[in-house]
Amino acid sequence: MKGLFRKTGLVLLCAWLLQLSSCLAVAIERDRFERRPDLPEIDILLAGNATGDDGQRDATGPALPFMDLHQALARLGAPLHVAPLQREAIALVYGWRADTHLRASLSLPLAETVSASMDFSRRRAKLDGLVLVFDSSGQLRGSRACRLLDIRARLSGERPVYDDAWWAPRISRP
Amino acid sequence: MRTLALLILLVLPACFMAHGTVNEPLDREVFASLTPGTSTAGDVVAALGAPAEVVQLGRRSAWRYEHSSTKETGLFLLVVFLHGTDTRSDRTWLFFDENEIMTHLGVTLGAGRSEYSLPGLE
């Protein structure tokens, strides 16, 4: 008799859990897109680098991993995007993402045609990016970290000038 | 034993793996036959076919070829859903001057290294 109750209880518990999942759900989602460039000096580029009008850098600054387009492509591989800038300059855009989202949702049927639901999600990071700017002769003129959403908006309109204030180092992300 | 069988029955129907690709993989040997400063746009088209994107860079241009691989894994554990997605690509950008001579070449071959994985279960 006791065994029968135990089995019945187990079946009821399973049924309850199955039914519960229809209104309560916790999702852990990981989304990876490409990888951060495997380059020891990547932080120097992400911290932002601006060269002067004469193309020379401050000798006291940290050494860059490359100074021209050919070397950049050899070290970093193909970018996600290539965009034209004014004066025949170009921007190479690299991007990667490693997100883990925790999302919980609760949905309660209150009446036959009415329900209440609550959804909470938290995104730890969005697509990270690195922008490299080269002048018409292929010399590196600037770099900066960015979110690709930001850079897309900037590059989709009128072509920016590569040495305007936007390329000056403002973001420093280790 | 019965409990284990019950657990397996509950969990098995709730997992999935999926693999999606876009375009054909890029062949490493093809790039060895392309030489910056020598190869022309015609050589590139003959070797790789039509590009996925062409960007005009003033008088110059850049062509993109790409193949991507996405691996997806999911596991439903009653009220908990674990889900992992990994996308990696084979991608190349080739730069041409105004005479359609290839000047620069950048290649990334990563599509074969996309992974099936779930958060917290590495």
- Helix (H/G/I), strand (E/B), else coil: B81: strand
Q: Which helix (H) or strand (E) holds B18?
A: strand B15-22
From A21, A34, A90, residue closest to B110, measured CB to CB: A34
Distance CA A50, CA A100 (A): 33
CATH 1.10.10 for the A32-97+126-167 domain, yes or no:
no
Query: What is the residue-level pLDDT of chain B in tens, covering all 122 positions?
Result: 778 787 666 666 688 999 999 999 999 899 999 999 999 999 999 999 999 999 999 899 999 999 999 999 998 877 788 999 999 999 999 999 999 999 999 999 999 999 998 887 76
Mean pLDDT of A58-78: 82
Residue B63 belongs to some domain of the structure: yes
Q: What is the pLDDT of residue A170?
A: 43
Average pLDDT, chain A: 74
Distance CA B3, CA A120 (A): 34
Q: What is the pLDDT of residue A165?
A: 61
Region for A115 from its dihedrals, namely left if φ exceeds 0, alpha if ψ lies in -120 to 50, beta otherwise: beta
Q: Which helix (H) or strand (E) holds B74?
A: strand B60-77
A contacts of B98 (beta carbons < 8 Å): none
Residue B78 belongs to some domain of the structure: yes
Distance CA A91, CA A85 (A): 7
A73-132 pLDDT tens trace? 999 999 999 988 888 889 999 989 888 888 887 776 665 555 554 445 444 446 788 889
Residue B85 belongs to some domain of the structure: yes
Q: Classify strands A128-134 and A90-109 as parallel, antiparallel or unpaired.
A: antiparallel
Residue B70 belongs to some domain of the structure: yes
Q: What is the pLDDT of residue B36?
A: 95
**Chain B interface, mutation test: which of A22, A30, A36, most B Cβ atoms within 10 Å?**
A30
Residue B56 belongs to some domain of the structure: yes
Distance CA B32, CA A105 (A): 52
The total number of structural domains in chain B stands at: 1
CB contact under 8 A, B55 and A27: no
Q: What is the pLDDT of residue B106?
A: 95
Least CA distance to A85: which residue of chain B?
A: B57
Mean pLDDT of A144-158: 72
Tally Cβ neighbours within 10 Å of residue A154: 16
Residue B24 belongs to some domain of the structure: yes
From A21, A78, A83, residue closest to B106, measured CB to CB: A78
Tell me, what's the ipTM? 0.85
Strand partners, B63: B54, B94
Residue B103 belongs to some domain of the structure: yes
Residue A164: pLDDT band (50, 70, 90) is low
User: Which of B38, B54, B59 shows the shortest CA–CA distance to B94?
Assistant: B54
A117-146 pLDDT tens trace? 444 544 444 678 888 989 889 998 888 888
Where in the sequence is the domain holding B78, given as residue range(s)?
15-113
User: Which of B16, B10, B22, B12 shows the shortest CA–CA distance to B85?
Assistant: B16
